[in-house]
Amino acid sequence: MMKRNFLLVLVTLVGICAEAQNVSISKARFQKGDDLSWAKPETNDASWKEIDMTKNWDDQGYAINKAYAWYRVHLTIPSSLLKGADQQKIVVFNLPKADDTDECYLNGKLIGKTGSMPGDKAGYRSAWSTPRNYPVDAKTGGIRWDADNVIAIRVYNGGEPGGLFDNPLTVRVPNAAEGLSLRFTDVNEGQAHCDIELSNAYPLTTSGTLAVSITDRDTGKKVGSLTKKLSPKQGKPVSVSIPYDKKKVCLLEATYTDSKSGVTISKRLPLKYILTPPAPATPRFNGAPLFGVRPGSPVIYRFPVSGERPMKFTAANLPAGLKLSESDGVLSGKIDKAGDLTFTVTAENAKGKASQEFTLKVGDRMIGLTPPMGWNSWNCWALSVSQEKVMSSAQALLDKGLADYGYCYMNIDDGWEAEQRNPDGTIAVNEKFPSMKALGDWLHERGLKFGIYSSPGDYTCGGYLGSIDHELQDAESYNSWGVDYLKYDWCGYGRAHAKERDKGVASYVRPYLLMQKYLREQPRDIFYSLCQYGMAKVWEWGRFVDANSWRTTGDIYDAWVSMYDIGFKRQAGLAPYAAPGHWNDPDMLIVGKVGWSSNLRDSRLTPDEQYTHITLWTLLASNMLIGCDIAQMDDFTIGLLCNNEVNAINQDILGKQADRVSKVGDIEVWSRPLADGGTAIGIFNVGDEDKQVNIADYVSKNFTIRDLWRQKNLSADELNCTIPTHGCKYLKVK
């Protein structure tokens, strides 16, 4: 009786809403702590507090961190739910999301679990953003039809905020197609094709037709299709594959129709497309016509030249002290006196030859005269980086031809240090990096450069040792290993900084100035990359600590919101602070296979967003650090990263960063002047709808207007065009 009264009160209080096929509830009883007996229906929860399951518990006054709490819901599940459902086999309990992991019990019986708890064999693993759909057999799953059911949810919070959130708890009887989902794998390598997988999360029978079509987005014409009869069963996904032309800009649409109920599910995917024309077989110089070095520092410069191999490199008037390797075009040696040394380098292969007049600029402030190009381990491997992974990416950089476009820095991010320093205080490496010196030599032999990561604090962001109180020793170690690039990440320095009485700009400058002194004392050129997320307007003082670049924001990730916020919103107005040798750094690239772990996946940016990313980053004179596994790089990503005309904007020797020149509605225009008198212009559609744009509204028709991605001049009738959502046009005007 008592229980029934309670249920009635609860029903009125929380307003259960019952539609034809679902019952939904957002309020529950709540108790901190952990006791598995709370799963039992007979547990007396009358004294438990009331809580809203759609809002994190932090927002409701419960700061429960790294700990458990339980929710209990009393619910009448009406048998009328089954009426009208096309199959009456299962009932789905759709839980709110849980920050971070949950276990769900129905009348004392475990019906589902997402993520894993600290006590589990696999150890704690958050699954805070995963939707929870727990199917239960309608007859044997333990549902008490038309009576009181107790749904008890055990939640563990591994880091703020915590608890259930987002959607209410819904109990529903699904139709045949509801557990179906479509997944695409776009394989842009060799003969491009898209694999379409249809899976069924529920033990419901369905059979129907999957119809796939491919439409050319430029012409609106259908360019491919297939239909197939399928019957996906729970746990046994079925798939089809459809080829496509990677030079066309296409949209794929897949629709599955359940033949009995007529219910459909469908999904669309803009396919990857390659605009960059293939490089000629003849040699072509793809790099800037200059490179800077400090007097007395070793010169390591690999001439970026595409074209068929083998290739022979020769130089006319090569200054004394320098050597050019004939087979791979690596310039080495050292020059003791400041000044400009100009000479001509020629590359020749079976198909022809090409030359570049080149200047080696020798002087004290000559590091990074054009933005650095290369790779960093963070966006792909994060803390799982190892020497093996660095070497495999370096080898792929050479084999796949990226080094022929100027990518040369191979930078190890966080995760290389040992747990303790050596007894003499020098930094030690962990077992994943057998020898830094050998790695440095291996890279240099191939004309590549070696980058490393540390923090001015006690620990790095990943919890590895930082350089505090060992700055000189670390700079000396880097020199002895042959390091050419240091990313110096504030992170753990936050603790030292918290103790500062005066938190003015000087307190932000100090740790960076200290390392600058020791780095610059080393007899080699170490590109100095500040990483402190833009604090104290680092762009205003970065060049005065002789930093070669400084991160202007927090970390990027592969979603439009992140790229838009960092690239468009936070870079506007920063152009005046960039100059040769000193660059704003809007963070590393998020194209290709990324994942911040040992599990990599395709970047979640759409192909149009990826074109926008590279367009904007080259306009911004940003560091161009690839953040993916190069060994797994597909043709689409190579096309994005190896367009010589696009990269030439990034490497333009005038060194003027682009700024936003107009923003009307969703159309933003960014432009920068170039050394040859031309102007690079990006016209971006940052809105959620495709937009019709007339280029003549932004550029006089009297100029030569070149489409940089397609590498062709635009005719007057090509100026009126559609820019897809989050896409762009990249132009050079002269």
By rule CB under 6 A, what string of x and - marks binding of each residue 454-473 to ligand GLA?
Answer: ------xxx-----------
CB of 598 to ligand GLA, least distance (A): 15
User: Does residue 707 have an active-site annotation?
Assistant: no
58 binds ligand GLA (CB under 6 A): no
Beta carbon nearer to ligand GLA, 302 or 613: 613
CB of 571 to ligand GLA, least distance (A): 16
Token output for 520: 């610059």
CB of 464 to ligand GLA, least distance (A): 8
Cβ–Cβ under 8 Å, residues 658 and 572: no
- Which of 447, 285, 290 minimizes the C-alpha distance to 361? 290
Query: How far apart (Å, rounded) are the C-alpha atoms in residues 372 and 411?
Result: 11
CB of 710 to ligand GLA, least distance (A): 33
Cβ–Cβ under 8 Å, residues 508 and 535: yes
Q: Which helix (H) or strand (E) holds 476?
A: helix 471-481
Helix, strand or coil, per DSSP, at residue 570: coil
Beta carbon nearer to ligand GLA, 210 or 625: 625
**Which residue among the candidates 120, 555, 666, 690 is catalytic per the annotation?**
555
CB of 14 to ligand GLA, least distance (A): 41
The C-alpha torsion from 251 through 254 and 255 to 258, rounded to 10°, is: 180
Strands 132-137 and 193-200: unpaired
**Residue-wise over 699-730: b if at least 16 C-beta within 10 A, else e?**
beeeeebbbbbbeeebeeeebeeebbbbbbbb
* CA count, 13 A, side-chain hemisphere, 25: 25
Say how many residues make up the chain: 734
CB of 203 to ligand GLA, least distance (A): 43
By rule CB under 6 A, what string of x and - marks binding of each residue 412-441 to ligand GLA?
Answer: -xx---------------------------
Applying the rule CB under 6 A, the residues between 272 and 301 that interact with ligand GLA are none
Beta carbon nearer to ligand GLA, 413 or 634: 413
Q: Which of 45, 52, 99, 489 binds ligand GLA (CB under 6 A)?
A: 489
CB of 178 to ligand GLA, least distance (A): 40
Strands 101-106 and 109-114: antiparallel
Number of residues that bind ligand GLA (CB under 6 A): 10
Query: How far apart (Å, rounded) are the C-alpha atoms in residues 81 and 145?
Result: 10
Query: How far apart (Å, rounded) are the C-alpha atoms in residues 643 and 138?
Result: 58
CB of 455 to ligand GLA, least distance (A): 8
CB of 4 to ligand GLA, least distance (A): 54
Cβ–Cβ under 8 Å, residues 299 and 334: yes
**Nearest position to ligand GLA, beta carbon:** 461
Beta carbon nearer to ligand GLA, 163 or 462: 462
User: Does residue 489 have an active-site annotation?
Assistant: yes
By rule CB under 6 A, what string of x and - marks binding of each residue 668-707 to ligand GLA?
Answer: ----------------------------------------
Query: How far apart (Å, rounded) are the C-alpha atoms in residues 100 and 118?
Result: 11
Beta carbon nearer to ligand GLA, 412 or 646: 412
Beta carbon nearer to ligand GLA, 273 or 453: 453
**Residue-wise over 658-684: b if at least 16 C-beta within 10 A, else e?**
bbbeeeeeebbbbbbebeeebbbbbbb
**Residue-wise over 314-352: b if at least 16 C-beta within 10 A, else e?**
ebeebeeebebeeebbbbbbbbeeeeebebebbbbbeee
Query: How far apart (Å, rounded) are the C-alpha atoms in residues 65 and 608?
Result: 40
Query: How far apart (Å, rounded) are the C-alpha atoms in residues 149 and 96?
Result: 18
**Which residue among the candidates 45, 100, 258, 489 is catalytic per the annotation?**
489
Strands 409-411 and 373-376: parallel
Applying the rule CB under 6 A, the residues between 508 and 567 that interact with ligand GLA are 531, 555
Q: Which of 30, 273, 378, 478 binds ligand GLA (CB under 6 A)?
A: 378
Beta carbon nearer to ligand GLA, 31 or 460: 460
486 binds ligand GLA (CB under 6 A): no
> Which residues are near ligand GLA by CB under 6 A?
378, 413-414, 460-462, 489, 491, 531, 555
- Residues tagged active-site: 489, 555
